[in-house]
Structure 1
Amino acid sequence: MDKEISQDALYQSLGHLFFNLLWIGALSFPVVTWFYQREAIWISLPFAFVMAGGGLITAVGIWRRLPSTVFFSTALTIVLGILCVSVWILPFVDSYKSGKPFSLLIKKTVPLTQPLYIYADTMNDFNFYTEREIISVLSSPAEVEKAASGAKMAYVLIKERDLSRVDIGAEGKVLAESRLGDKKWYLVLVRR
């Protein structure tokens, strides 16, 4: 006859493993943040304390066989963890991923009477944040040349990787730049 592990022992040992890993892992979150993004250390502390405290209280509840403590500490850990993420972590991450600050700078720099173009990109939020219905997409350097020669100048949004492909002219210049996620964008004034 095979010896079976009782469900109670299995659940208890898995619960211990998970919640002990949670509170120990949560304490490493500020340490990792310190090495990679020091200005975000203050953001990682509330989340780490919530996760570490919740994991530790839940692990103690499992060890003492207190199901109500396990239930309420798990629920409270989830609620407070989501609150920490939504109040501190996501706004911090959003500042690196959102095109809103750069779009507001574009809105201040480029008059609404002047057309704004974007070079070789269709997936962006610039229309929404600059409050422009149309930002025409230019797919080749020849189209940039055509747009600039018609009005003697053109405002073009262009990624760093494409900047060397486009001739901005002798009097052309970079008006603004911003990193959005892993891409660097430029607002360029192309003059002819």
Structure 2
Amino acid sequence: MNGDADVLPGAPARSRGASPGRVLLVAGALALALFGGLLLVFTPSLEGRPGLQTLWVLASLVLLKLPLLLLVWWVIVRRRSRATPPWSRETTDAFLARAREGVARAREGRAPAVDLADLRREVWAATAHADPAAAQQLVDLALEIDRIARHGPLTGRGAGEHVAAVGGRSPAP
């Protein structure tokens, strides 16, 4: 029940560190931007040639701004591509089945508190990605996990004792 793969079934694994290609891309963009800024320093040396001076400044500004704009564009596109699409009905059903198994283990007292906390976190996170038709089932499951976490498993108690333990009323006979 731990890890990103359990929380988002079918989602691509995310890189934990920066790849060398990414570092080189950012370093290259920053180097071009700094070089473009450095070229602006030499603009006064072209005094007396207004046409060449204008082209020099335009080329310097392009070298200054374009790499930074491309870098920002790249970051935006990567963030959009990382957005997870909604789960299919099959994926949602598979997650619900797995979560229900975990709740059944917790009800019987076979799940450690750490697993229960992880399961609760996963189920609440899944409500944002799951098929909308199953969202209410996920919320109900998460609330049941919260109840189990607060009041413990049902082992050794009857249904009436459990209702009284959680502060409710016993059903009328």
TMscore range, shorter length:
0.3 to 0.5
Greater C-alpha Rg = 2
Structure possessing the higher relative contact order (Cα contacts under 8 Å, 6 or more residues apart):
2
> What is the TM-score when the length of structure 1 is the normalising length?
0.35
Whose strand proportion is higher, 1 or 2?
A: 1
Whose helix proportion is higher, 1 or 2?
A: 2
> What is the TM-score when the length of structure 2 is the normalising length?
0.38
